[in-house]
A and B are shown apart, each in its own frame.
Chain A
Amino acid sequence: MATVSDRVRNATTKQDIREVTTHFEGDKGILEVQTLNAWYGKTLAIKDISMSIRSRTITAIIGPSGCGKSTFIRCLNRMHEVSHGGRVSGSVLLDGKDIYARDVDPVTIRQRIGMVFQKPSPFPTMSIFDNVAAGLRLTRLWSRRGDLQEVVERSLRQAALWDEVKDKLNQSGASLSGGQQQRLCIARALAVAPEIILLDEPCSALDPAATLKIEDLMRNLAQEYTIVIVTHNMQQAARVSEWTAFFLLGEMIEYGKTVDIFSRPKDKRTEDYITGRFG
């Protein structure tokens, strides 16, 4: 019998993958974080985090600078261990299977859990087309141009960028504006057909107009993908997310429905933060 991850790997279209994923839904979150700790060298950056992240919703992680929210999100697709001295304990279950299990290759996890970073990071030596195709082209030995074209167009449409770039797919990705570059990075992440998309302060380098575009985009994507967004902008969390977790000094203080967190927080520290008394 094929395991879930096998089936996901063998699934050729995104629809197939959706089916595999939804198969596991119930009350359970698609990501189940259990007593997660993460270190940088000897510094403990996040302490004992446990939370479920629900499928096809937007979950926001808020908190002041240095509270460990970026570290946390980087643990969800095993990017934390890429940093020098990065170390993790605890487990993160994706569809019930620990992504930190010994036999799991972080490379396959990152194909299923995509990530977009704070600073737009298109590959400067590649064209717009090649940027979007990069994830597919460089994870396979060989790919047909025709197949790539289809995926590139679909991903750019999903990222609401197609109309702006369809006539200049061969230009460098670096020639786009900051907001366009960030949507290009989202398209690039979508092209590998992930199940979950992690966004690490995706709008902090963008102007308000570009920020609104990305937020609209996130709402649309949430119909198909599970989205986790780290943001230091509370209004943004309130605007887009369904669930919100508040982090402080490496600990998760409170986690609940966004409306509850912002209207009647249970913890005094959460209240102080969202009312702007610190942070």
Chain B
Amino acid sequence: MSERNHLRRKWFNRLMLVLSGCAAGLAILILALILGYILVHGISYINLNFLTQAAKPVGEAGGGMRNEIIGSLILIGLASILAIPVGLMAGIFVSDFASPKMAATVRFASDILAGVPSIVVGIFAYAILVRPMHSFSALSAGVALAIIMVPIIARTAEESLRLVPNSMREAALALGITRWRAVLSVIVPGALTGIITGVMLSLARVAGETAPLLFTALGSNFGYQGLTKPIGALPLQIYHYALSPYADWQHQAWAAAFLLLLLVLCISILVRWISGRRHA
């Protein structure tokens, strides 16, 4: 009786092991397929012109995505300027100043914000900025992306700040250092690698966001013309070009997809490198 039970358990164990192995393999396979497919399609269309020239009208050969690359960088930079201070300060508040009840409330709110679909965030930015200002704008897109970044930064900042031992806080306070100064000069530096990791993760997340840009940045063929004017961005251009009937544009969309993927991949590798150093 127990012999049979033992055998059954052994086979069941093997079966589950194989299944979970397959699932893990599938996940890696999908990633490899995406990377490989985009690599194969995209890399042949990447050239110096693609990186340095502005888009050309339909029918004209050549042209590139210089404006969109710069536009994406501007939007990401703008979103960072808006989101990093807010997210970091929210994280500091929750980890070091809020009462447990208040901390739980803020944490809950920030989790919900992180779960809001990005297209909803786009509509929100459209309603509060684009409509009143009567213009699609880089600013509104920056705000939309910042709203997506804030909860990611706040949560990772809070978690890394809480990893700094309480003895550091007490040691600082016992020297007669005020609380805010202790946090800024002792606690935040101690959590810096974690905070930077969170910022990088949020950057990787918003770099590829397309939906919130549709209602805000809109897209533009003229490059940067000011914060209150529409602006082009890589994901938007991919969307635009991939749906177009022109082979030339489709090729450029592949190239842009490859470039975007490369960007996100670089950020991810940087994140691993930074967070690896924390444990070294």
Contact = CB atoms under 8 A, between A and B. Distances in A.
B176 A110 contact: yes
A139 interface: yes
Given A121-B167, A124-B190, A111 B173 contact: no
Interface in B8-60: none
A138 B175 contact: yes
Contacts of A135: 175-177
Contact of B175 (A82, A124, A134): A134
Interface in B169-198: 169-178, 181-182, 185-186, 189-190, 192
A125 B175 contact: no
A108 interface: yes
B185 A189 contact: no
B137 to A, nearest CB: 40
A24 interface: no
A68 interface: no
A138 B175 CA distance: 9
Interface residues of A, number: 27
Contact of A117 (B167, B181, B182, B185): B167
Contacts, number: 71
B157 to A, nearest CB: 16
A110 B186 contact: no
B174 A110 contact: yes
A211 B200 CA distance: 45
B175 A110 contact: yes
A17 to B, nearest CB: 14
B190 A82 contact: no
Given A123-B168, A125-B190, A139 B174 contact: no
A256 to B, nearest CB: 29
A115 interface: yes
A125 B189 contact: yes
Contacts of B173: 79, 82, 110
Interface string A123-136: 11110000000110
Interface string A104-118: 000111111011010
Contacts of B165: 121
A113 to B, nearest CB: 9
Contact of A108 (B168, B169, B176, B192): B176
B190 A115 contact: no
Interface string B60-102: 0000000000000000000000000000000000000000000
A107 B171 contact: no
A47 interface: no
Nearest to A135: B175
B170 A82 contact: yes
Contact of B174 (A114, A124, A138): A114
B175 A139 contact: yes
Contact of A185 (B171, B181, B182, B192): B171
Nearest to B99: A84
Nearest to A77: B174
Contact of B170 (A79, A138, A192): A79
Interface in B154-172: 165, 167-172
B185 A138 contact: yes
A255 to B, nearest CB: 25
A89 to B, nearest CB: 21
A121 B178 CA distance: 18
Q: Which 7 A-B pairs have the closest CB atoms?
A: A111-B176, A135-B175, A115-B174, A110-B176, A125-B189, A121-B171, A121-B167
8 contacts: A79-B174, A112-B176, A115-B174, A123-B171, A138-B175, A138-B181, A139-B177, A189-B174
